[in-house]
Amino acid sequence: MNHIKSLKLSAFAMLVLAGCSATVQAQVSTSKEFITAPAAVVKKAPLSENELKRWSHLDLIKDSIPGMSVDKAYAELLQGKKGVKVIVGIVDSGVDIEHEDLQGMIWTNPKEIPGNGIDDDKNGYIDDVHGWNFLGDAVHENLEMTRIVKKADDGSAQYKAALAQYTEKYEEALQDKQQADFLMDVHNTIKKELNKADYKIEDLSAITSTDPKVARSKAVMTQIFTNAGPTFNPEEELKEYSDQVEEQLKYNLNKDFDGRKIVGDNPDDIKNNRYGNNVVFGPDKEKALHGTHVAGIIAQIRGNNLGGDGVATNVEILTVRAVPDGDEYDKDIALAIRYAVDNGAKVINGSFGKSFSPQKDWVYDAIKYAAKKDVLIVHAAGNDGYNIDETKNINYPNDSKDNVKEFADNLITIGAINKSYGETVVASFSNFGKINVDVFAPGEEIYATVPNNKYKYLQGTSMASPNAAGVAALIRSYYPKLKAAQVKKILMDSGVALPSTVVLGKSENPGEKPAAVSSVESSKTAKMVNAYNALLMAEKMSKK
């Protein structure tokens, strides 16, 4: 499922987003030395607008912001160096390949003649010039648990678990609907009182009405603004939240809805694999928001004074549309991975995930296929604030059949951090686990491309994954002889250490912060991806 969706619902349901911390710990470095030694750093002021738009590229020492030191890497390590082109597969909701800030960064199939209606490269996909759309004109879809529950009760453990989770999710959705209706009423009350829709927290102080409804609405909206941060837009984001709740009930959890019938394939037959079309942003370009944002994090043009900057400069984005507004089908993901691999991708980003995977073996086989072809798959850990080492919280796809032992060495799972280094640096929404999460990357308030030449702040492990994938692409561009497994090892081992103790996940009680624990509980490495360190390690490893 699109990770942004579950995050938005969760964030508003709790009326809480990650806050800021004034004092941070950091890792000290000098030029071209590995960032290792701890020291104290104090952030003296809030982030400027420019810092906020680019925080994931900044440096913990120089800027006191736990970015990936991307700017430092370009300035000190990559000047004058020429890398090879790296194809990055984006398996997602689609990408607006016409976006102004992605021009020149889009993969074009050299073996296909555009628009001639012929499968020139004989790969089974006609006119797949910039990738493939396995969803055709489909947009909305059930959650996997809904699809399982819709089938007859076969007495299996999977059916029972799906039914239990479906029942819980449906009740939550009904509560979310009440919450959304309440918040929209609050917003409309404030709009009427201020006589404008575009307002900020400072505007609320102008409201002096003693009407109980107005006073309550002012208090609620003040709390939301305080918790949500400076980029919060009530008109836009409350409407998004309300729409998402409606879509959950109308599509994701609706047992009478069948989103697959317009695709025209049999989703339970992996051999029925010639379906979809070549329109890689889908039937409604606006619905390609998530994939376009992911693509921008990796590849939006650096230094052109448009939007934000991408992590990697020498890349081509290959789009495979396989993630609907709901849970992806295992078949689509398996075929999408294979398509990207067969068309030259050396890095594949997967900012999606779900809690049930009936045909997970198809995806496992695709991951193994990518491993044989030396392709790194970068996957988002998920946004539930769960310990995904626990069997009940598995986030598919993964690279372990028993949730412990990996069957492949080419899949890396990424959790999310926010922009304030300290005990709360791990984003509260981020899944974690010292077995099944490998490393963390920036995932809160990330500024990047969205359809129709627009830009937006989004957050989630969906954003952390492409930040890490961008660094992977940098390594593969400048050190192309390194294998996928080596790149994974570099991303993990070269990271900057998290603080010794961190807060993980969310409390079951709204407004209550979980106790801090040892950072070794967070992931395999207890580290954050760092481009500068990664390139230094790649240089050293390439000489062995």
**pLDDT, tens digit only, all 544 positions of the chain:** 555 545 555 555 444 333 232 333 334 343 477 765 345 656 656 888 889 999 999 999 888 899 999 999 999 999 999 999 999 999 999 999 999 999 999 999 999 999 999 999 999 999 999 999 999 999 999 999 999 999 989 999 999 999 999 999 999 999 999 999 999 999 999 999 999 999 999 999 999 999 999 999 999 999 999 888 767 889 999 999 999 999 999 999 999 999 999 999 999 999 999 999 999 999 999 999 999 999 999 999 999 999 999 999 999 999 999 999 999 999 999 999 999 999 999 999 999 999 999 999 999 999 999 999 999 999 999 999 999 999 999 999 999 999 999 999 999 999 999 999 999 999 999 999 999 999 999 999 999 999 999 999 999 999 999 999 999 999 999 999 999 999 999 999 999 999 999 999 987 776 678 999 999 999 999 999 999 999 999 999 999 7
Q: What are phi and psi of 147, to 5 degrees?
A: -65, -40
d(CA 368, CA 53): 37
Q: Provide the pairing of β-strand 527-528 with 496-497.
A: antiparallel
For residue 399, which phi and psi values (nearest 5 degrees)? Answer: -120, 35
Cβ–Cβ under 8 Å, residues 297 and 307 = no
Q: Which ranges constitute the DSSP H helices of 439-507?
A: 461-478, 484-493
- For residue 106, which phi and psi values (nearest 5 degrees)? -105, 130
List all residues 6 or more positions away from 129 whose beta carbon is below 8 Å from its beta carbon.
108, 109, 112, 114, 278
The answer to whether the beta carbons of residues 68 and 441 sit under 8 Å apart is: yes
Both tokens assigned to 447? 């500024």
Contacts for 335 with CB less than 8 Å, ≥ 6 apart: 134, 270, 273, 322, 366
And the tokens for 295? 């693509």
Contact 142, 326 (CB under 8 A): yes
Do 467 and 300 form a contact (C-beta atoms < 8 A)? no
3-27+70-141+269-542 belongs to which homologous superfamily?
A: Peptidase S8/S53 domain (3.40.50.200)
Cis status of the peptide bond prior to 397, with omega within 30 of 0? yes
3-class DSSP state for residue 142? coil
Cα angle 154, 155, 160; round to 5: 110
Type and span of the H or E element at 38: strand 37-42
Domain ranges (residues) in the chain: 3-27+70-141+269-542, 149-252
Residue type, 132: W
CA distances from 264 to 45, 119, 273, 434, 524 (A): 55, 19, 11, 41, 42
Predicted structure pTM score:
0.92
- Looking only at the bridges linking them, the beta strands covering 446-450 and 501-502 are unpaired
